[in-house]
Structure 1
Amino acid sequence: MLFCPSCANVLIIGDADGKNKWICQTCPYQFPITKQHTSRTLLNSKKVDDMRDVSSELSSGARTAYECAKCGHGFSYFSQLQIRSADEPMTTFYKCVSCGNVRRED
């Protein structure tokens, strides 16, 4: 990536007068391209982060007195995750002990 020495904007490749040139889009600066240049860059594949399985934690996690909205049972398993940014509160997942209904509270 090249920048214009006059106004510091990014130069683009243009085909003026049948010859390739670096051209500034904001000022009249042009720089002729006299040599062919090629380069090759090997990109490393992005490493996939491990995913956390909350469903197994909900089945065997801590129990709390939380009434199920579906069946009215008084106890649920719960697990907490930091889904949003660090300055936001954690998200709590509740799974009913009786019917297995899952509810999320932010």
Structure 2
Amino acid sequence: MLMFCPTCANVLVVEEGPKSYRFSCNTCPFIHNVTRKISSKKYPKLKELDDVLGGAAAWENVDSTAETCPKCGHDRAYFMQIQTRSADEPMTTFYRCCHPQCGHRWKD
């Protein structure tokens, strides 16, 4: 936790005084004795994650191909290709199993 000097607005440093710890300013004579425990927690607000593949709507109008699902062994899978790296790298192919009870997703 940072504390600032009310006189010159510099950061206060912690030092050991004669009886207890204290905050002191390095540029002016300001001193604040610590008489109780000082703590403060502030958690940052996390931003919402975007679904890179476009969510469930992205899989609505995709084609299927003869690809075996590694989870259930079904012989058909939906697929889509997305450029996930730089332009000189090949596209990444994403698959989703066509079997209604499986729906396993993987990439190639």
Q: Give the TM-score taking structure 1 as reference length.
A: 0.47
